[in-house]
Amino acid sequence: MKNGQEVQPFFNNSRDYISAQEVTFKIDNNKAKLSRNDAKFYVITVSPSSRELEKMGKTEKEQAEAMRKYVRDDVMQHYAEGFGKGLNKEDIEYYGKIHFERKGADRYDMHAHIIVSRKDRSNTRKLSPKTNHTGKKNCGNVKGGFDRTDFFRKCESSFDKRTGYDRAPEQTFDYLNTMKNGSPKEIFQKKEWAERVNHERLEKMKAEWSRDLQEPRQEQGREEIQQQGNSISQVPDINQAPQRKKQQEEELDQPRKRSRGFGMGM
C-alpha cells in the first residue's frame, strides 16, 4: 500500500510477477535503431468506471485477474492487429501494472497502466500508435499507421462481451467521441440515435415486465380451472340416482337373508 494505493507487480502476456528492474532493463534494451528523438515506449491506460468495475468481480482479487485477462486477450490483441502488419499479442513487448485506489472506507477504483515498447518483441519493427491510419500501405517509415478510433471501439466491444456489461448509448466511445469532436450535424444524429436506442430498450423492458406479470396470473387461472374440474367430478349424476338407491337397498337386504340360517349345524 502506497499513498492509498495497493500496487501489484508488473505482468506481461505470459507472466504475473515481473520486477520493476526487469521491466526497465527490457524496455531500455529493446530500442535498436531508434533515434534520439524517437519515443522508447508508450503508455496505455485502462480505467473502468465504477459500474464497469462491478462487472469484473466482487473482490479485488477477482477484479485484478479479470483485468489481466482483459489486457492480455483483448486490449493487446487489438493493439497488435491495429498496425495492419499481421501481428498478434505475442509480438508486442509490454508490461502492465494494476493499481487500486482507496476512496473512503468501502469504495475504491481500479486502473491499469500498460508500458508498451516502441519496437516489437523481436526488436526489428517500429510500432507507433500515434501514427494516424490513412488506409495506405506506407506512411513514411511506419507502414499502415494505427487506427486509434477502431482500437478504442474494439476494446469497448470486447469488454462488454466478456463481462456482460449493458452499456447505455451515452456511455459508448462512439457517442462520447462524437460529442467531443463531431460536427453539429453528427452530434444531432448521434443524439437521435441514443434516444432511439433508449426508447427501444424501454419498450423491450415493458414487454418483459408485462410477460412476467401475466405468467403468474395464467398459472393461477389454470389451477382454479383444475380445482373446478375436480369439484365437478365429485357431484353425483342425477340420472344414476335411482339405480344407486336400488343397489343400496339390495346390499342392505343381503345380510338379513344370510342371517336366517347362521349358527345352525347339520
Q: What is the pLDDT along the chain (266 residues), one digit of tens a residue?
A: 555 555 689 999 999 999 999 999 999 999 999 998 999 999 999 999 999 999 999 999 999 999 999 999 999 999 999 999 999 999 999 999 999 887 666 667 899 999 999 999 999 999 999 987 655 554 444 455 899 999 999 999 999 999 999 999 999 999 999 999 999 999 999 999 999 999 999 999 988 888 888 877 666 666 666 666 665 555 455 455 555 555 555 554 554 444 443 333 33
pLDDT at 9: 94
Q: Domain extents for the chain?
A: 5-167, 169-226
Give the count of alpha carbons within 13 A of 89, CB side only. 14
DSSP 252: H
Helix residue ranges per DSSP H, the chain: 20-28, 50-54, 60-70, 76-81, 148-163, 173-181, 184-233, 241-258
What pLDDT score was predicted for residue 107?
65
> What radius of gyration, in Å, describes the C-alpha atoms of the chain?
37
pLDDT for 212 equals 83
pTM exceeds 0.95, yes or no: no
